[in-house]
Structure 1
Amino acid sequence: PLFTDTYMIVYLQIMAIHGMTRYSGAVSISIREDQRQYFIKCSYETMELYNRATNILLHKGIISKPPTLNNKQKIDFVKEQTFLRGWFGKRRPINAVEISAAYLNMQKTLMKIVLELGFSQVARSTEVRDYMERGRKLCEKHFNILTSMLEEDNLHAPRTFESEVTDSTVPPFSDKLMLYHVATLLSTAIAYYGEALSVCQRRDLSVDYARMITEMGLLAEDGANLLIDNGWMEQPPTATDRGDLAKNK
């Protein structure tokens, strides 16, 4: 085995989060009733998977619980524009919405770091190994940025799982599958960063997410180019090129 059972249950939980997000999105863009019913069923099954995986992680003491806040017994309203301040002057503490977005992205980033670490030691292609290593280093950089958002206000980060990679050098999957999986996860991370950016109410945090989106986008593009170079990327159906039809008539 390339990964321990501990990491595998963490992997299942994080992938279930991805599944819940994508299946609900698929429902919203499906018109045919049979397709909608199918994706609704998939959403329900994925929620059950997430629930079971989370229960195991809690029972085994593996999962790191998110930071908790002191409960205030009154509602506060923003009274000054300094609430949005991020660079100059005294910054307000990070709020609950920003904490939630940062912590979720940290958990998903940790999963990718371990996956890329494991794949980098078993991939047969030098190009694929180098790409996995690049991805791991970028994810570690982003994890440190996200950690700093919380530690500034004395909030904890989730535990890491790099030690859950074994010393195996036998590839359990093809280079094609490993590269496609990681490239897809990196592209998905852009969407989660974008969601976190949309709820940020402090300018410095927004800039951090915008920069991370750019860096992740460039790495994901390089992964797509590597897939194309090896003939591994299947082309989705495209709209008709009317200009090409008229030119070749």
Structure 2
Amino acid sequence: MQAVSSQTLAPTAETVEHGFSMLDMFWGADPIIKIIMLMLVAASFWSWTIIFQKTIRLKKLTDAADQFEEAFWSGGALDDLYDRIHNRPQDPLSATFCAAMKEWRRSVSKGIAKASDARGTMQQRIERVMHLTINREMEDLERYLGFLASTGSTAPFIGLFGTVLGIMNSFQSIAIQQNTNLAVVAPGIAEALFATAIGLVAAIPAVIAYNKLSSDMNRYANRLEAFAGEFTGIISRQLEEGAA
């Protein structure tokens, strides 16, 4: 009986060693698909950086706003509070207060507060200064937030583009090798689907974080606007008492 050659039984190294780990699928992918994967990984990394930075900053700003409002409504003189913090306002709320007080003192020093025909203009000017400060502070707080929205909306399609390219390469392999065996096309299809998986991994946290951070920032902006309205009421009473 003739012995079967061991070389005949031994499968090729390419068939045996082609793994399905993430690194194997990455290194086995087409160069264009590799670039797409790297772009998605970079987008995911930057998204998580933004998420952590914004979350921590919002927590700090909320705590600072609580401390400021406690000092503001403690019954102490607002001039003393302004003198303590005007050189280093720690949060948008105290920055809004300092901007209004600065405009108030400038008007008082020029005698505008005593002129009955200029009091309305003075109040409007203080309101405008507060709103400009709020807008500037919120623009700074919302910086890079749009990247999360863009990542959440585009990352799945970018990953899908990589998947389409991978499946096209798999069909090309079938045509070249003239072999429809699953072992021939499985690696290419796995690499293609891996690109979609990375796109979803980048997109899902970005969408969730964008919605959460946007909601938190809207609440914070409403808090600033509410404070501006309350402080405007205080200024209005001061002007009425001065007129009386």
Between structures 1 and 2, the one with greater helix share:
2
TM-score class normalised by the smaller sequence: 0.3 to 0.5
> Which of 1 and 2 has higher RCO (CA within 8 Å, sep 6+)?
2
TM-score, with structure 1 as normaliser: 0.32
Larger radius of gyration: 2
